[in-house]
Amino acid sequence: MLTTVQLVLAGIGIGILMAAPIGPVNILVIQRAVSRGFWGGLAAGIGAVIGDGLLAAIAGFSVTAISDVMFAYAGWIQFIGGMLLIGFGLALLFASPTLTIPLDKKSDLWEHTGIIPQTFFLTVTNPGAVLGMAAMIGGFSALIGGISHLEALLLVAAVMGGSLLWWLGLSELIAYVRHKLTEGRLRLINRIAGTVLLAFGAILLVQGLIEHFR
């Protein structure tokens, strides 16, 4: 049996491990933090935190109804996620290389909340995130001989906390160095981010079509 502290630490570790690998959400958070500052990056990360929480809850509580719906419509969900990523990628490729929020201007989280549902959707449509969370939570539960509903709730909260810690740290890091970015560097960041998002979108689109016509 694990203590409460051990359970929380395990959940935080899972949250960080799920958030850290470079993927479309990391690219979006970095680009948002570059152009819009700390709160812009964090807002993008919060969508992923909520998505990670949903995936952790499905795995921890074995919420089969939600899980069945997600798998039943996996093709359409991935197709829409792929189109969304391609849209993000094209927007960045043609975006003007400027800081949307100037260095001398303060903003707050509420100005950037529009990105939250978008990164949430990108998180829950990522097959790697779905399978990875199921494997981590399922493996952890099996390792300790199962968890109660209360422990599952605590674990889900800890996973979200770990994910939030990652996005806080990443957003703060990028916001700290954004003053060193020239117009040329901003253009390069936009092109790299746009190209990567287009690639992720194309992969997700193909996976969605394969899943739909299987």
Locate the domains of the chain by residue range.
4-213
| R_g (Cα) of the chain, nearest Å | 18
Specify the pLDDT at position 32. Answer: 86
**pTM reported for the whole predicted model:** 0.76
Q: Per residue in 61-105, pLDDT tens?
A: 875 555 566 666 677 777 777 888 888 788 778 766 565 555 556
Specify the pLDDT at position 69. Answer: 63
Confidence of residue 191 (pLDDT cuts 50, 70, 90): confident
Percent of the chain with pLDDT over 90: 20
8-state DSSP, 178: G
Confidence of residue 135 (pLDDT cuts 50, 70, 90): confident
8-state DSSP, 144: T
Q: Report whether pLDDT(151) > 80.
A: yes
Confidence of residue 181 (pLDDT cuts 50, 70, 90): low
Q: Report whether pLDDT(119) > 80.
A: yes
Specify the pLDDT at position 98. Answer: 60
Q: Which residue has the higher pLDDT, 190 or 181?
A: 190
- C-alpha–C-alpha distance, residues 124 and 23, integer Å: 13
Q: Which residue has the higher pLDDT, 87 or 50?
A: 50
Q: Report whether pLDDT(187) > 80.
A: no
Give 57-123 as a DSSP string: HHHHHT-HHHHHHHHHTHHHHHHHHHHHHHHHHHHHHTS-SS-SS-TT----GGGGGGGHHHHHHHH
Specify the pLDDT at position 50. Answer: 95
Tell me the average pLDDT across 40-53. Answer: 93
Mean pLDDT score of the chain:
81
Closest CA to 110 of 26, 40, 11, 182: 40
Place of tokens 């790697």: 128
